[in-house]
């Protein structure tokens, strides 16, 4: 019998990378998705070097490509094992007044964060629903529950994720599939690039949430009984009040 797999989007760095390593260290097989093939291969190699009990399987894929996502999920199911958990984590952000944002950047944010989540979920559900089993964890943001000046497109995409998940949670109860959404404030990851996209908060990014805290939360959700729904969790550092 094939071993169940956890599919994580955005696994080449930040929260996704930390989550892939933690789950593999707990013996889960992880399909690690992102666009950066080299980083994913390095992550898989690290898993092997550290002799983690679970395998990290790299898939270089863009979540904005629905056909590629469908094919990727099919490959995971056929060659590695059923996708028992999907973590929709891939995202991009740009901190800029909306009127100054290029339409290309607007599209990249909404397409990656919202439509990418929807495409991955759609592909995975084709397999989870017939099995009547599965868990989906979406990494949204506090930008999904409030407005943040300078992040209008990001807020639109993250609010969209929350609305999508609210509807989906209800739809999937009869299919025994759980959907949970995590809405964090700032996390200390490479999402914030000091040169190209600095963290707009007033403190140093290192004083905000650490990726391991989000990983702990995902692991907690995955360990909960099937009959309980954790619909939405909002958390933020005290130096960034929402």
Ligand X SMILES: NC(=O)c1ccc[n+]([C@@H]2O[C@H](COP(=O)([O-])OP(=O)(O)OC[C@H]3O[C@@H](n4cnc5c(N)ncnc54)[C@H](OP(=O)(O)O)[C@@H]3O)[C@@H](O)[C@H]2O)c1
Q: Structure tokens of 159? A: 């609010």
Q: Considering the rule CB under 6 A, would residue 10 count as an interface residue with ligand X?
A: yes
Smallest gap from residue 13 Cβ to ligand X (A) = 4
The full 3-state SS of 99-115, as one line of letters, equals HHCCHHHHHHHHHHHHH
Give the span between the Cα atoms of 230 and 213, in whole angstroms. 17
Q: Considering the rule CB under 6 A, would residue 12 count as an interface residue with ligand X?
A: yes
Q: Considering the rule CB under 6 A, would residue 64 count as an interface residue with ligand X?
A: yes
154 is catalytic: yes
Q: Give ∠ CA 90-96-102 in degrees, rounded to 5.
A: 80
- The length of the chain in residues reads 242
Give the span between the Cα atoms of 22 and 67, in whole angstroms. 29
Give the span between the Cα atoms of 225 and 73, in whole angstroms. 25
Smallest gap from residue 242 Cβ to ligand X (A) = 11
> Measured from the CB atom, is 133 or 150 closer to ligand X?
150
Cα 124 off chain centre by: 14
Whether residue 206 contacts residue 200, with contact meaning beta carbons closer than 8 Å, is answered with no
Binding window for ligand X (CB under 6 A); candidates: 33-41, 45-53, 99-107, 163-171: 33-41
Give me the 127-166 binding string for ligand X, x by CB under 6 A, dash otherwise. Answer: ------------x-x-------------------------
Residue 41: strand, helix, or coil: helix
Smallest gap from residue 214 Cβ to ligand X (A) = 7
Q: Considering the rule CB under 6 A, would residue 83 count as an interface residue with ligand X?
A: no
Q: Structure tokens of 239? A: 């130096």
Q: Considering the rule CB under 6 A, would residue 221 count as an interface residue with ligand X?
A: no
Smallest gap from residue 151 Cβ to ligand X (A) = 10
Write out the residues near ligand X by the rule CB under 6 A.
9-16, 34-36, 39, 62-64, 89-92, 112, 116, 139, 141, 184, 186-187, 189-191
**Residues involved in catalysis:** 154
């Amino acid at each position: 019998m094939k071993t169940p797999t956890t599919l994580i989007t955005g696994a080449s760095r930040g929260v996704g990378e930390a989550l892939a390593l933690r789950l593999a260290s707990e013996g889960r097989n992880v399909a690690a998705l992102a666009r950066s093939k080299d980083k994913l291969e390095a992550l898989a190699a690290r898993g092997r070097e550290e002799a983690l009990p679970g395998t990290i399987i790299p898939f270089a894929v863009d979540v904005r490509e629905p056909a590629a996502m469908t094919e990727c999920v099919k490959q995971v199911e056929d060659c590695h094992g059923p996708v028992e958990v999907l973590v929709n984590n891939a995202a991009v952000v740009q901190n800029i007044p909306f009127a100054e944002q290029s339409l290309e950047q607007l599209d990249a944010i909404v397409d990656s964060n919202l439509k990418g989540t929807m495409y991955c979920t759609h592909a995975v559900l084709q397999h989870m629903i017939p099995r009547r089993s599965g868990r989906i964890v979406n990494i949204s943001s506090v930008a999904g529950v409030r407005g943040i000046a300078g992040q209008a497109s990001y807020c639109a995409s993250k609010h969209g994720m929350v609305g999508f998940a609210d509807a989906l949670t209800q739809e999937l109860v009869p299919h025994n599939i759980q959907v949970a959404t995590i809405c964090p404030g700032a996390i200390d990851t490479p999402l914030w690039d000091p040169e190209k996209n600095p963290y707009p908060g007033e403190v140093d990014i290192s004083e905000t949430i650490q990726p391991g805290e989000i990983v702990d939360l995902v692991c907690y959700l995955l360990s909960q009984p099937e009959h309980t729904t954790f619909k939405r969790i909002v958390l933020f550092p005290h130096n960034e009040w929402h």
